[in-house]
A and B are shown apart, each in its own frame.
Chain A
């Protein structure tokens, strides 16, 4: 998802009887649905895993501005331009809320952000794909925000208070992004043959990466099991992916668009859609830095940060000068 394959640092999941008294009390609180707050005692692994997960999530929001920003200057109507601009702005806000949540765990935003810029910490691999036509903007809202919100709604119930509250805020603002995206794709799918072809092309390119967003099957993953025990991961990757496919297929049918999967079909017995094999090698390559846009995305963020340094420094310098002057005036008085 927006945070992929988060390493918990654990080799295996501990049972209650193996835990120290503190750990057990902590786990019992979580099991009872009591939120953990910033100052409460927490296992180091929980704290570190949360920092990783929340900062990856935040980075995804921040990098996620770029593929959509690619079309903001070319939006075809003033109304669409305003909608897109506001949406990208929301994403910056979501990144900011999430960095704030991470900061309650004893790291600073600049530290966390430096790890993105150095390439040490990842963001969702979905944003390493290019937006090549206007329908991509709608498709990203429809599929990518659609997939993200599926993960984020359960996270509103996660065990860490500041993260869950940030998620509530994010979900409130994001719920309509998906609708907005669908509306854009609909205008194109029902438009001229050229527009419909663009919409189909966008779906062809985004479908599989969207399914990959949920991450590999976590059947065997210790990290997933640990995160679920800590209630910072609520549903399994496969459950979420299946839910996403089931909800999206009829939406595509309504638009008269074809999902690019010859193996996709309704299964009467399971009550779900069966779908084809995901190319996990492509996923691994994109995560490893070899997607079509990895280098561009990071370079853009690094440049923005470096170009902005004089601005950030100057505002701080001015604030310091001003407070020194106030102190001097107070003394003189």
Chain B
């Protein structure tokens, strides 16, 4: 097995959690209700914690002396390997929730597979994270149902968000060589095996939410390979500012 493949894979898991938590933290103190603000912040905090675990391990496996912060704050956007979905801007709260729901379903399926990883550390991190993610999914799927089947305005906003974000969901199931290799070794999970379960769950929730699953097949891809949209660069410019401006400081 190539150490490179393993650290690349771990970094993807870390980058997903990191970039999404960064997006969620943009809502901090600005949520649509006090209770909701606190709930969303809890999700953001869980994801930061997960990002730290994955990135620390990625740095160790890589063996070039990079810790979680070096990986989070000193890589440029083409070195980030998160899914395009999680870097999409918050938009209105409907966009934030639909993005969260699409991700949570995938995330739970992925972590569930990883709890059976042949690598003990991966299995450990996944076992810890999956408890948090089960709650994220319970919350986001519940809110999708409520807001889809809420008012005419909330349904319109939710459907708009679904239609806008749909093309970023295909990438989640498109395995590349790294994932095929590590999947075959029982270390990672081959994402193409998750697609049917993901779609079934989305359909079930959307049926209750009176939302329509788009029939468009055209999907964006490239996040895992470091080919991102314009939004990620700005997100990183903000996130990395202090570490970049004062490279010799410790905080």
Query: Do A and B have CB atoms closer than 8 angstroms in the complex?
Result: yes
Which residues of A are at the interface with B, using a C-beta cutoff of 8 A? 62, 65-66, 69, 72-82, 85-86, 88-89, 92-93, 95-96, 99, 134, 184, 187-188, 191-192, 194-195, 300, 303-304, 307-315, 317-319, 321
Known A-B contacts A74-B238, A310-B154, A311-B154; A69 and B30 likewise in contact (beta carbons under 8 Å): yes
Known A-B contacts A69-B28, A89-B45, A194-B246; A315 and B146 likewise in contact (beta carbons under 8 Å): yes
B226 at the interface (CB under 8 A from A): no
Nearest A residue to B24, CB-CB: A85
Contact check, A88 vs B29: say whether CB atoms are below 8 A apart: yes
Q: Which residues in A have their C-beta under 8 angstroms from that of B239?
A: 73-74
Q: Which listed residue, A92, A318, A319, A321, touches B37 by the CB 8 Å rule?
A: A92
Contact check, A311 vs B33: say whether CB atoms are below 8 A apart: yes
Contact check, B146 vs A187: say whether CB atoms are below 8 A apart: no
**Within B23-50, which residues are at the interface with A (CB < 8 Å)?**
25-26, 28-38, 41-42, 44-45, 48-49
B243 at the interface (CB under 8 A from A): yes
Stretch at the interface among B67-75, B106-114, B211-219: B67-75
Known A-B contacts A96-B35, A96-B38; A317 and B51 likewise in contact (beta carbons under 8 Å): no
Contact check, A69 vs B29: say whether CB atoms are below 8 A apart: yes
Q: Could you list 5 examples of A-B contacts with CB < 8 Å?
A: A76-B73, A86-B41, A191-B251, A192-B246, A317-B150
Q: Cα distance A146–B31 when bound, in Å?
A: 27
Q: Cα distance A86–B21 when bound, in Å?
A: 13
B153 at the interface (CB under 8 A from A): yes
Q: Cα distance A82–B38 when bound, in Å?
A: 14
Contact check, A315 vs B93: say whether CB atoms are below 8 A apart: no
B242 at the interface (CB under 8 A from A): yes
Contact check, A314 vs B146: say whether CB atoms are below 8 A apart: yes
Known A-B contacts A76-B243, A92-B37, A92-B38; A321 and B149 likewise in contact (beta carbons under 8 Å): yes
Q: Which residues in B have their C-beta under 8 angstroms from that of A73?
A: 22, 25-26, 238-239
Q: Which residues in A have their C-beta under 8 angstroms from that of B26?
A: 73
Q: Which listed residue, A89, A188, A307, A309, touches B41 by the CB 8 Å rule?
A: A89
Q: Which residues in A have their C-beta under 8 angstroms from that of B33?
A: 308, 311-312
Q: Cα distance A76–B242 when bound, in Å?
A: 6
Q: Which residues in A have their C-beta under 8 angstroms from that of B92?
A: 307
B90-132 vs A, Cβ < 8 Å mask (1 yes, 0 no): 0011000000000000000000000000000000000000000
Q: Which listed residue, A65, A72, A187, A317, touches B251 by the CB 8 Å rule?
A: A187
B147 at the interface (CB under 8 A from A): yes
Distance in Å from the Cβ of A174 to the closest Cβ of chain B?
16
Distance in Å from the Cβ of B87 to the closest Cβ of chain A?
14
Known A-B contacts A74-B238, A88-B29, A191-B249; A318 and B147 likewise in contact (beta carbons under 8 Å): yes
B157 at the interface (CB under 8 A from A): yes
Contact check, A315 vs B29: say whether CB atoms are below 8 A apart: no
Contact check, B72 vs A318: say whether CB atoms are below 8 A apart: no
Q: Cα distance A66–B29 when bound, in Å?
A: 6
Known A-B contacts A69-B28, A74-B238, A134-B242; A93 and B68 likewise in contact (beta carbons under 8 Å): no
Contact check, B248 vs A85: say whether CB atoms are below 8 A apart: no
Q: Which residues in A have their C-beta under 8 angstroms from that of B34?
A: 62, 92, 95-96, 99
Q: Cα distance A252–B235 when bound, in Å?
A: 35
Nearest B residue to A184, CB-CB: B251
Contact check, B30 vs A300: say whether CB atoms are below 8 A apart: yes
Known A-B contacts A85-B48, A314-B146, A314-B151; A80 and B249 likewise in contact (beta carbons under 8 Å): no
Contact check, B45 vs A86: say whether CB atoms are below 8 A apart: yes
Q: Which residues in B have their C-beta under 8 angstroms from that of A188?
A: 251
Contact check, B48 vs A81: say whether CB atoms are below 8 A apart: yes
Q: Which listed residue, A78, A303, A308, A311, touches B147 by the CB 8 Å rule?
A: A311
Known A-B contacts A74-B242, A93-B38, A311-B147; A81 and B249 likewise in contact (beta carbons under 8 Å): no
Q: Which listed residue, B25, B37, B42, B150, touches A314 by the CB 8 Å rule?
A: B150
Nearest B residue to A91, CB-CB: B29
Q: Which listed residue, A86, A195, A311, touches B93 by the CB 8 Å rule?
A: A311
Contact check, A88 vs B246: say whether CB atoms are below 8 A apart: no
B241 at the interface (CB under 8 A from A): yes
Distance in Å from the Cβ of B128 to the closest Cβ of chain A?
15
Q: Cα distance A314–B154 when bound, in Å?
A: 6
Distance in Å from the Cβ of A140 to the closest Cβ of chain B?
14
Known A-B contacts A187-B251, A191-B250, A307-B92; A315 and B30 likewise in contact (beta carbons under 8 Å): no
Nearest A residue to B147, CB-CB: A314
B228 at the interface (CB under 8 A from A): no
Q: Which residues in A have their C-beta under 8 angstroms from that of B147?
A: 311, 314-315, 318
Contact check, B151 vs A310: say whether CB atoms are below 8 A apart: yes
Nearest A residue to B150, CB-CB: A314
Q: Which listed residue, B29, B32, B149, touches A311 by the CB 8 Å rule?
A: B32
B52 at the interface (CB under 8 A from A): yes
Nearest A residue to B155, CB-CB: A314
